[in-house]
C-alpha cells in the first residue's frame, strides 16, 4: 500500500503545495497574502528583508529591495508553523532558474537566522568558497549599509556576529576541510546541483539535533542528472524527492519545496512563452528582451538548463546540429591579408592546431576561418608518437610570411621556448599569449563564437581545406558552465575525441573581432589595448 498522501489541511495557512506558484511584479503585502502570525514566522522575516536588504548590482545599487509577492510567499511558506505553533519544516528546497534573485532570498534567510534563537549558527554552503561567499557578501552589504544593523552586528572577513545573542554567520564550502562540532541552526545551500558529493549536505542536515528550529534551505537551478561517476547526482536525487513528496508518494511533513520548471523538456527553447514557468521574475526585473539576447548567444543545452530549469543528462554538445554546416564556405585568404593566427599546441600524443581568421574591414564583412594546419595522431601511429614539432614550427613561420599577421595568439603551455623565439622574431606586440584556461577570457570568447555561428556572421573553410577536421573537433566539444560563463571542454579528460582545433578557432575569431573593433594600436600581453 503506497504511503498516504499529505492532506492539504494538515498544515495551516495556504495549501502546502499550490497548483499555481505565485510570480510576477506584484509587491508583497502581508495583509493580502493569506499568511498570519499563527501560520508562519515568515512575516517578521519579510519585514526584515524589506527594511534592510539592498540591491548590490546595477545603477540602483544601494537601494532597498522591493519584495515581490512570490518572494514573500516563498519565505512565509518555508517558515510556516504547524498546528502546535512549531516550525513545520526542517528542510526546504527551492528550484528556480538563474537570475531570479536566489542570492537575495538566501541572504534574507541568513540574516533572519541570526535573530532566530540564542547562540544561532547560520551557514551559507556551496560547492566552492567563491559560490558560498555570494550569499554571505549580500548579507554583509546589507549590514554595512544599514545603520541599525551595523550598530548591533559585527562584520569580519569570514564571519558576521550578533554579540547580544551569541549568534554567528559563516560561509562553508565542500572544497574546505569540514569541522567537527558544528551545530547549525540554519543553513542556506546555494546551487545544490554542483555539490561534488553528499558530504557537506549530510553534515549540515545531521548536526542540528539540539536546535529548537533547525532549517536547511536549498536554493538552486537544475544541473546534471549524474555525477562524475555516472550515478544520480545529489541535486537530482533531492529534486526527485521533491516530486515524490508533492505527489504524495513519500510522506514527510518536515520537508517542503517549490519547483519553478519548464514542464516540457523538449519544447522550443527560443519561444518566450516557454521561459515563463521557470522564471517567476520574467517581465519584472528579469527583462524579456535580455532573456532573448541570452538565448541567442548561449549554447542551447546551457540555456535549457540554467534559464529554463531542464535537467541535462551530462556533457551536452556545444553547437546545435547542423549549425556549423549551414555556414557559407570561403577559401583561405590571399597574400598580405590582415589576419589573426591562433595556435593550440601539444607535446605528446594530443593534437596541435594552427587556425587563421581574417579581420573584417567593416560590419558588412564577416570573418573567414581557415585551417593552416592540424596535426594529430594517425590511427596506425606507434606508441611513442609525438607531434612533429619541426614541421609545426615551419608551418608557423610560413604563415607569418604569407599573411599580414596582426597577431599570433598561442596558448602558452608546452611550447614556451618556441613562443619566446616567436616573440623575439616577430615582436611582443604581435605574439600575444592567450591562456585558454583563463575562463574570464575563454567564456566570452566561446559565447561570441557561438553567436557568430548561429547568426551566420562567420565563414567556414571547405571540407577539402581542412574544414572536415575542424568540424570534427567542434563536434567533439561539450559545454561546461562556470561562474564566468560557458566554456568548451572534452567530454572527459581521457577522451580520444580532440577539440584543439575548435579551441584555436574560438581564439582566432575572438582576437580577429577584437582587432576589428580596436584597429588603432598594439596590445599588452593580457590582450588589453596599449596606451
Q: Is the dihedral of CA 329, 332, 333, 338 positive or negative?
A: positive
> Please, what are the domains in the chain?
30-308 (3.40.50.300), 338-517 (3.30.420.240)
Rounded to whole angstroms, the Cα distance separating 256 from 14 reads 13
Rounded to whole angstroms, the Cα distance separating 29 from 69 reads 7
Query: 204 and 238 in contact (C-beta within 8 Å)?
Result: no
pLDDT at res. 109:
97
pLDDT at res. 483:
79
Rounded to whole angstroms, the Cα distance separating 286 from 268 reads 20
Model pLDDT for residues 284-304, shown as the tens digit of each residue? 999 999 999 999 888 888 888
Rounded to whole angstroms, the Cα distance separating 59 from 81 reads 38
Rounded to whole angstroms, the Cα distance separating 488 from 162 reads 44
Cell of 275: 521561459
Distances (CA, A) of 233 to 195, 223, 259, 427: 8, 9, 17, 50
Rounded to whole angstroms, the Cα distance separating 527 from 531 reads 12
Residue 191: other Cβ atoms inside 10 A: 22
Q: What is the gyration radius of the CA atoms in the chain, in angstroms?
A: 27
Cell of 210: 539540539
Rounded to whole angstroms, the Cα distance separating 35 from 28 reads 11
Cell of 468: 572536415
> Which letter does DSSP use for residue 31 in this model?
G
Rounded to whole angstroms, the Cα distance separating 415 from 14 reads 64
Task: Find cell 512570490 and name the residue.
Answer: 70
Query: Residue ranges of the chain with pLDDT lower than 70?
Result: 1-10, 176-180, 207-208, 230, 314-316, 348-349, 520-531
Query: 173 and 132 in contact (C-beta within 8 Å)?
Result: yes
Amino acid at each position: 500500500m503506497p504511503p498516504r498522501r499529505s492532506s492539504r489541511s494538515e498544515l495551516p495557512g495556504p495549501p502546502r503545495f499550490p497548483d499555481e506558484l505565485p510570480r510576477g511584479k506584484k509587491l508583497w503585502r502581508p495583509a493580502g497574502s493569506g499568511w498570519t502570525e499563527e501560520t508562519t514566522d515568515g512575516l517578521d522575516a519579510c519585514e526584515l528583508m524589506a527594511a534592510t536588504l539592498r540591491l548590490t548590482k546595477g545603477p540602483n545599487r544601494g537601494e532597498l529591495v522591493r519584495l515581490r509577492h512570490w518572494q514573500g510567499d516563498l519565505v512565509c511558506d518555508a517558515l510556516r508553523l504547524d498546528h502546535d505553533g512549531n516550525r513545520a519544516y526542517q528542510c526546504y528546497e527551492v528550484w528556480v532558474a538563474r537570475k531570479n534573485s536566489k542570492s537575495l532570498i538566501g541572504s534574507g534567510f541568513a540574516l533572519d537566522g541570526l535573530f532566530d534563537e540564542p547562540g544561532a549558527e547560520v551557514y551559507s554552503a556551496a560547492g566552492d568558497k567563491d559560490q558560498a561567499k555570494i550569499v554571505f557578501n549580500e548579507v554583509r552589504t546589507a549590514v554595512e549599509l544599514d545603520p541599525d544593523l551595523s550598530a548591533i552586528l559585527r562584520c569580519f572577513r569570514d564571519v558576521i556576529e550578533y554579540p547580544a545573542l551569541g549568534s554567528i554567520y559563516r560561509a562553508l564550502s565542500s572544497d574546505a576541510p569540514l569541522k567537527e562540532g558544528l551545530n547549525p541552526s540554519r543553513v542556506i545551500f546555494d546551487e545544490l546541483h554542483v555539490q561534488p558529493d553528499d558530504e557537506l549536505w549530510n553534515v549540515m542536515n545531521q548536526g542540528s539535533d539540539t536546535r529548537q528550529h533547525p532549517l536547511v534551505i536549498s536554493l538552486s537551478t537544475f544541473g546534471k542528472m549524474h555525477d562524475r561517476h555516472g550515478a544520480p547526482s545529489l541535486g537530482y536525487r533531492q529534486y526527485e524527492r521533491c516530486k515524490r513528496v508533492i505527489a504524495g508518494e513519500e510522506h514527510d511533513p518536515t520537508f517542503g519545496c517549490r519547483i519553478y520548471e519548464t514542464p516540457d523538456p523538449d519544447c522550443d527553447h527560443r519561444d518566450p512563452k516557454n521561459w515563463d514557468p521557470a522564471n517567476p521574475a520574467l517581465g519584472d526585473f528579469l527583462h524579456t528582451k535580455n532573456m532573448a539576447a541570452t538565448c541567442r548567444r548561449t549554447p542551447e543545452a546551457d540555456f535549457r538548463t540554467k534559464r529554463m530549469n531542464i535537467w541535462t543528462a551530462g556533457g551536452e554538445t556545444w553547437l546545435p546540429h547542423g549549425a556549423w554546416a549551414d555556414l557559407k564556405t570561403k577559401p583561405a585568404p590571399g597574400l598580405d591579408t590582415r589576419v589573426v593566427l591562433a595556435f593550440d599546441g601539444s607535446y605528446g600524443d594530443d593534437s596541435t592546431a594552427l587556425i587563421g581568421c581574417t579581420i573584417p574591414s567593416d560590419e558588412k564583412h564577416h570573418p573567414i576561418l581557415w585551417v593552416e594546419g592540424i596535426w594529430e595522431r594517425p590511427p596506425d601511429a606507434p606508441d611513442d608518437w609525438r607531434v612533429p614539432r619541426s614541421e609545426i614550427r615551419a608551418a608557423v613561420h610560413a604563415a607569418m610570411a604569407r599573411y599580414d599577421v596582426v597577431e599570433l595568439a598561442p596558448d602558452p603551455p608546452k611550447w614556451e621556448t618556441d613562443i619566446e623565439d616567436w616573440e623575439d622574431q616577430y615582436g611582443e606586440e604581435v605574439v600575444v599569449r592567450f591562456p585558454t584556461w583563463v575562463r574570464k577570457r575563454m567564456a566570452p570568447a566561446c559565447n561570441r563564437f557561438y553567436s557568430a555561428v548561429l547568426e551566420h556572421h562567420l565563414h567556414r573553410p571547405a571540407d577539402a581545406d581542412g574544414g572536415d577536421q575542424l568540424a570534427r573537433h567542434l563536434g567533439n566539444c561539450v559545454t561546461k558552465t562556470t561562474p564566468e560563463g560557458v566554456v568548451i571542454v572534452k567530454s572527459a579528460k581521457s577522451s580520444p575525441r580532440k577539440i584543439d582545433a575548435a579551441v584555436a578557432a574560438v581564439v582566432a575569431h575572438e582576437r580577429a573581432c577584437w582587432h576589428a573593433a580596436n584597429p588603432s594600436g598594439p596590445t599588452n600581453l593580457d590582450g588589453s589595448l596599449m596606451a
